[in-house]
Amino acid sequence: MAMSSLVIKARVRANPLLTWRALRFRNICSGGFGVATSESDPANPPVAGTKFLESFKEEFEVGSRVISLETGKIARFANGAVVLGMGETKVLSTIAAGKGDAVRDFLPLTVDYQEKQFAQGVIPNTFMRREGAPKERELLCGRLIDRPIRPLFPAGFYHEIQVMASVLSSDGEQDPDVMAANATSAALMLSDVPWDGPIGVVRIGRICGQFIVNPTMDELNLSDLNLVYACTRDKTLMIDVQAREISEKDLEAGLRLAHPEAVKYLEPQIRLAVRAGKQKKEYTLSMVSEQTFEKVRNHAEAPIEAVFTDPSYGKFERGEALEKITQDVKSTLEEECDEQSLKVLPKVVDAVRKKVVRKRIIAEGYRVDGRHLDEVRPIYCEAGHLPILHGSALFNRGDTQVLCTVTLGAREDAQRLDSLVGPPTKRFMLHYSFPPFCINEVGKRAGLNRREVGHGTLAEKALLSVLPPEDDFPYTVRINSEVMASDGSTSMATVCGGSMALMNAGIPLREHVAGVSVGLVTDVDPATGEIRDYRILTDILGLEDHLGDMDFKIAGTRNGVTAIQLDIKPAGIPLDIICECLEPARKGRLQILDHMEQEISVPRTQVYRNSPRLVTLKFSNEAIRRFIGPLGSLKRKIEEETGARISIGDGTITIAAKNQTMMERVQDKVDFMIGREIEVGGIYKGIVTSIKEYGAFVEFNGGQQGLLHISELSHEPVSRVSDVVSVGQQISLMCIGQDVRGNIKLSRKATLPQPESEKKSVVEGSAPVSKEEPNIWGALENVSNGEQQKSTLEELRLSKNENTASNPSASSPPAVVIRSAAECDEEEKSAGLSKASKSAPIRLFTLKRDKKLKIVQSSNDKPDSTLIGLFSKSSSRIEREKKLFSKDDDEGENNLNNLNDQETDVKTRMTPQKLKLGTKVTAKIYQIRARGLVLDLGGGIRGMYRFEPNGEKDFNIGDELQVQCSSFTSKGVPVMSLVDEE
């Protein structure tokens, strides 16, 4: 390796008269100035030279990406340092080995992965503007690096090793996790640490059935497969999968594609190690002598075999029996004064246990608890274990027990992610907890645990693919998995319990998801290291996980796999054996799904009193500003008083409450502050502001004034208004319509229980229909204001007896919806209605705060039509009707004629020319205009009646009049006159 050279160059001053030192001044020293002497100012002071850093680089291509490995330029003091680049993303991985030989019986390997915000040109938004403790993603990436490299360290190598991977720059296109794993492999190859590498790690995606090697983040968003595969030249080391119900056949195809692509990483690492690698250092290995092993085996093998062949032992009974055997062997060695054997006794006894268990499984096909190799432990399922919660489930498989709970929240409750790549938030979270009592141990709770984060993320990936889309699924969901007892595969039990808890919460999952862990026991030739025989175990125990070679966790539905995590203990397993494990895992998964579906097969539809509520209301921006208050003080005050979450959008207020009682409290406060859309049949709370002889005026819905007539106070006759209500009293009211002066009419008696005598006389369909409470997920009519109106309007039916009512507003409340003009225009644009759509007449009345009341009444021609159909009249149609009675009669006649042409009845299409002079008909008032009336003559024909001078009368829409045809206009519009005026 070339040595760095130092070049000394003379420095020439361009203008020494202008320099500080040329004037013989030196820097401030000891609080004052000093004059430099000529002796202290040498003519040619030494200057810094140029250091040359020799670096080595390898470039190669995997998939369609050019990858570079570089060493020698930075982190030169580390045992090994490599910068791996792909595009503009660069990752540095370094290796450091501890000094000295500490006495241990395990490999103290530490892997730290860091993503600092400078890599994407961002300053952290924390208080200290520094990165804090490792985030979940950093822990997961650290595990991703640790799992494939750990099995390749030599047996007995117990020296401290630290791996640190840091993202130097990120373009957001590539996920740095796989890059960091490959950089770590290259750094280990360069270091002096003994390691049986290299390894290759590759990511595989699939879009529209086509596999993609090293997909970008945008491609991963479209992919139904996210497969991370690590291997040596001929064996598999690690698999990590997140998929959308991919079949075992397609998954196997992806694995067989990933292996040769990952092998492409090996040769560049070997070439780089040859050029710039260090010579491997001789480390002391902690090995057990053959003599010591045989001595302990002779004392312990027979009693250990007796324990393992007795299936009546439980987990702790078996553990106590094995511990007693260890103590007996220890006593024997103490009598023999064999200090060397006593030092390694626990390790040797564990090796004897492993040998006994593996020998019995391979030779006899029976396991520790007496099960067959493909047998799943007994299962117990219970959904709704804690009914007061949003969702809960208890899942038992053998002695493993997990309690899963579901909590629902608003969108703003989603977790914020500060990772360099991926989405900024996460709306579905699964938190896994492994307390010490679940294995009958004493311990203390700390912060984030790598094992807990890894197991929780695996279960989260498994369940994420079956959740409904965010548009149909506006909640944030958190699952808590509390391990109550552990005897193997608690992460897969979390998948099963979490799936049942989600359905118990009413979330419409596409399918149930179950998980099972598959193990492997191999018989290896000690001379060649080749596998001579092996057995695959379904649903392994914790002991089988410890003494076996593999923990292959596979989760999925009946349709396919959703998540996989493979961890192995030997230095690789052939891919053929890995693919063979997929079928036993599928069969075991189907058995578990049968039990889960027997307990709960469809999402719950009941609305519990504690089920969450989510409502989105639309308001003008001015109203929202009033609601927020100065610096958001009013909004925060409501949240503190009620406990609900309120989020503000563009023209929307979204309220999330954990139960209906809380939602009602929040909506009441919103009503008083800014009001909400007024609907006939809607119930509101108001405060009595003044009392008159004929009724009371009530302020409600954010400052709206309504009239509570004395006849609407109670079902019983009321002589004085003050006997029932008083000024300042808060009462519940129902909007029943509007009078001719534009006043909103309210009713108190409509909210009171009706007497038995009146209940029998109520006409079906005339009573207002109260708004139905939203279902948890399925009936989210309150998600948006438009959808809320639509579902409510569809439920309301028009009265079928309007022909018998002289004044509809005086009888049963008409179908009235009060909306702003801007909302009406928006409804027209979204509906895309044609000009010929048929609807009932509309009257506009100006209310306070520029709000408008929209009255919709049914016609005789369509008695069964719903309000959603009547709501289709556009504002442009209203403008045309306003021009019917203009000063120019010909123009008004022309407009009315056009109106007739557009609103001809569907059943009998008639024209005004079929009417004869003198024909008498019973007409209904269709519109009231300044200079006359528009009459409905039946059959879709409209006629006109002009007011006589000083002859106006009180007319109401819907009144029936006896008229006869007196003439026709030049446009053919019939002109009617009253019969009693002839």
**What are the tens digits of pLDDT across the range 430-479?**
999 999 999 988 888 777 788 999 999 999 999 999 999 888 887 889 99
Of 751, 769, 798, the residue that ends a domain is 751
Mean pLDDT, residues 197-205 taken together: 95
Query: Quick one: pLDDT band at residue 677, thresholds 50, 70, 90?
Result: low
Query: Quick one: pLDDT band at residue 85, thresholds 50, 70, 90?
Result: very high
Of 241, 276, 311, the residue that ends a domain is 276
More confident site: 214 or 822: 214
pLDDT at 399: 92
pLDDT at 379: 95
pLDDT at 339: 84
- Asked if 192 and 255 sit in the same domain, the reply is yes
Within-domain flag for 334: yes
Within-domain flag for 451: yes
Instruction: Tokens for 890, please give them.
Output: 């010909």
Is the confidence at residue 125, as pLDDT, over 80? yes
Secondary structure in 3-state letters for 634-676: HHHHHHHHHCCEEEECCCEEEEEECCHHHHHHHHHHHHHHCCC
- Asked if 547 and 667 sit in the same domain, the reply is no
Is the confidence at residue 655, as pLDDT, over 70? yes
- Asked if 617 and 539 sit in the same domain, the reply is no
Q: How far apart are CA 925 and CA 974, in angstroms?
A: 15
pTM of the model: 0.69
Q: How far apart are CA 739 and CA 402, in angstroms?
A: 63
Instruction: Tokens for 867, please give them.
Output: 């309000």
Q: How far apart are CA 5 and CA 7, in angstroms?
A: 7
pLDDT at 817: 39
- Asked if 101 and 195 sit in the same domain, the reply is yes
Q: How far apart are CA 417 and CA 137, in angstroms?
A: 9
Query: Quick one: pLDDT band at residue 918, thresholds 50, 70, 90?
Result: confident
* Cα-Cα-Cα-Cα dihedral sign, residues 119, 122, 126, 130: positive
Average pLDDT, the chain: 78
Is the confidence at residue 785, as pLDDT, over 70? no
pLDDT at 934: 83
CA dist list (Å): 228 to 182, 237, 238, 630:
12, 11, 8, 51
Instruction: Tokens for 790, please give them.
Output: 């639509």
Instruction: Looking at 433-530, list the stretches that DSSP marks H as alpha helix, in order from N- to C-terminal side.
Output: 450-464, 490-504
Q: How far apart are CA 81 and CA 184, in angstroms?
A: 8
pLDDT at 624: 85
pLDDT at 519: 95
Query: How remote is the C-alpha of 493 from its chain's centroid?
Result: 21
Residue at token pair 């609601």 = 627
Tell me the β-bridge partners of 111: 163
- Which has the minimum average pLDDT: 15-19, 121-125, 163-167, 780-784? 780-784
* Cα-Cα-Cα-Cα dihedral sign, residues 964, 965, 967, 971: positive
The CATH number given to whatever domain includes residue 572 is 3.30.230.70
- Asked if 562 and 673 sit in the same domain, the reply is no
Q: Are 829 and 863 in contact (CB under 8 A)?
A: no
Task: Identify each DSSP E strand in 473-542 by its residue range.
Answer: 476-485, 514-524, 531-538
Task: Give the number of other Cβ atoms within 10 Å of residue 769's Cβ.
Answer: 11
SS3 (DSSP) at 823: helix
Max Cα-Cα span within the chain: 135
Q: Are 797 and 862 in contact (CB under 8 A)?
A: no
Is the confidence at residue 427, as pLDDT, over 50? yes
Q: How far apart are CA 90 and CA 420, in angstroms?
A: 12
Within-domain flag for 220: yes
Query: What tens digit of pLDDT does each residue of 966-980 get?
Result: 777 755 677 888 886
Secondary structure in 3-state letters for 835-891: CCCCCCCEEEEECHHHCEEEEECCCCCCCCCEHHHHCCCCHHHHHHHHCCCCCCHHH
pLDDT at 873: 36
Quick one: which of 429, 414, 408 has its CA closest to 657?
408
Residue 436, preceding peptide bond in cis (omega within 30° of 0): no
Residue at token pair 């006495």 = 103
Q: Are 133 and 447 in contact (CB under 8 A)?
A: yes
Within-domain flag for 230: yes
- Which has the minimum average pLDDT: 149-158, 514-523, 541-550, 810-819? 810-819
Mean pLDDT, residues 49-59 taken together: 87
Instruction: Tokens for 766, please give them.
Output: 């005339």
Q: Are strands 80-86 and 65-71 parallel, antiparallel or unpaired?
A: antiparallel
Within-domain flag for 524: yes
Residue at token pair 């250990």 = 304
Q: Are 144 and 228 in contact (CB under 8 A)?
A: yes
Rounded to 5°, angle at Cα 73 from 67 and 77: 120
Identity at 822, one-letter amino acid code: A
pLDDT at 904: 38
Q: How many alpha carbons fall within 13 Å on the CB side of residue 502?
A: 32
Query: Quick one: pLDDT band at residue 5, thresholds 50, 70, 90?
Result: very low
Secondary element (H or E) of residue 426: strand 425-426
Query: Quick one: pLDDT band at residue 769, thresholds 50, 70, 90?
Result: very low
User: Domain count of the chain?
Assistant: 5
Identity at 157, one-letter amino acid code: F
Query: What tens digit of pLDDT does each residue of 536-580 get?
Result: 999 999 989 998 999 999 999 999 999 999 999 999 999 999 999
Q: What is the DSSP string of 340-395?
A: HHHHTHHHHHHHHHHHHHHHHHHHH---TTS--TTPPPPEEEEE-SSTTSSEEEEE
Q: How far apart are CA 120 and CA 418, in angstroms?
A: 11
pLDDT at 488: 86
Is the confidence at residue 799, as pLDDT, over 50? no
Instruction: Tokens for 805, please give them.
Output: 């009512």
Q: What is the DSSP string of 542-570?
A: HHHHHHSSEEEEEEE-SS-EEEEEEEESS
Per-residue DSSP letter, 40? G
Within-domain flag for 818: no
Q: How far apart are CA 397 and CA 606, in angstroms?
A: 28
Within-domain flag for 947: yes
SS3 (DSSP) at 576: helix
Q: How many alpha carbons fall within 13 Å on the CB side of residue 354?
A: 17
- Asked if 554 and 642 sit in the same domain, the reply is no
Using a 10 angstrom Cβ sphere, with 0-12 exposed, 13-18 middle and 19 or more buried, the burial of residue 620 is middle
Q: What is the DSSP string of 772-804?
A: PPPPSSTT-TTSSHHHHHHHHHHH-B--TTGGG
Q: How far apart are CA 494 and CA 521, in angstroms?
A: 25
Q: Are 89 and 173 in contact (CB under 8 A)?
A: yes
- Asked if 316 and 341 sit in the same domain, the reply is yes
- Asked if 302 and 324 sit in the same domain, the reply is yes
Query: Quick one: pLDDT band at residue 914, thresholds 50, 70, 90?
Result: low
Within-domain flag for 41: no
pLDDT at 599: 94
Q: How far apart are CA 437 and CA 289, in angstroms?
A: 37
Query: What tens digit of pLDDT does each residue of 285-321 get?
Result: 888 888 888 888 888 889 998 888 888 888 888 889 9
How many residues appear in the chain? 982
- Asked if 430 and 567 sit in the same domain, the reply is yes
More confident site: 33 or 650: 650
pLDDT at 953: 64
Q: Are 905 and 874 in contact (CB under 8 A)?
A: no
- Which has the minimum average pLDDT: 34-43, 144-153, 501-510? 34-43
SS3 (DSSP) at 233: coil
Of 276, 305, 322, the residue that ends a domain is 276
Is the confidence at residue 215, as pLDDT, over 90? yes
* Cα-Cα-Cα-Cα dihedral sign, residues 482, 484, 490, 492: negative
- Asked if 187 and 308 sit in the same domain, the reply is no
pLDDT at 797: 34
Is the confidence at residue 809, as pLDDT, over 50? no
Burial 198-227 (b: 16+ CB within 10 A, else e): bbbbbbbbbeeeebbbbbbeeebeebbbbb
pLDDT at 972: 64
Task: Name the most confidently modeled range: 587-596, 759-768, 775-784, 930-939.
Answer: 587-596
Instruction: Tokens for 953, please give them.
Output: 């009368």
More confident site: 838 or 22: 22
The CATH number given to whatever domain includes residue 925 is 2.40.50.140
The CATH number given to whatever domain includes residue 331 is 1.10.10.400
More confident site: 854 or 423: 423
Burial 637-669 (b: 16+ CB within 10 A, else e): ebeeebebbbebeeeebbbbbbbbebbebbbeb
Residue at token pair 């359905």 = 503
Mean pLDDT, residues 393-421 taken together: 90
pLDDT at 674: 78
Instruction: Tell me phi and psi for residue 424, to 5 degrees.
Output: -80, -20
Mean pLDDT, residues 270-277 taken together: 94
Structural domain span for residue 497:
379-599
- Which has the minimum average pLDDT: 82-91, 612-621, 766-775? 766-775
Q: Are 739 and 707 in contact (CB under 8 A)?
A: yes
Is the confidence at residue 124, as pLDDT, over 50? yes
Secondary element (H or E) of residue 737: strand 730-738
Instruction: Tell me phi and psi for residue 156, to 5 degrees.
Output: 85, 0
- Which has the minimum average pLDDT: 182-191, 387-396, 844-853? 844-853
Q: How far apart are CA 325 and CA 304, in angstroms?
A: 7
- Asked if 327 and 451 sit in the same domain, the reply is no
- Asked if 592 and 628 sit in the same domain, the reply is no
Query: What tens digit of pLDDT does each residue of 575-616 get?
Result: 999 999 999 999 999 999 999 999 999 888 755 556 677 787
Query: What tens digit of pLDDT does each residue of 866-891 get?
Result: 322 323 333 344 344 444 444 444 44
Task: Give the number of other Cβ atoms within 10 Å of residue 762's Cβ.
Answer: 11
Mean pLDDT, residues 163-181 taken together: 94
Quick one: which of 132, 101, 95 has its CA closest to 116?
132
pLDDT at 838: 34
Query: Quick one: pLDDT band at residue 480, thresholds 50, 70, 90?
Result: very high
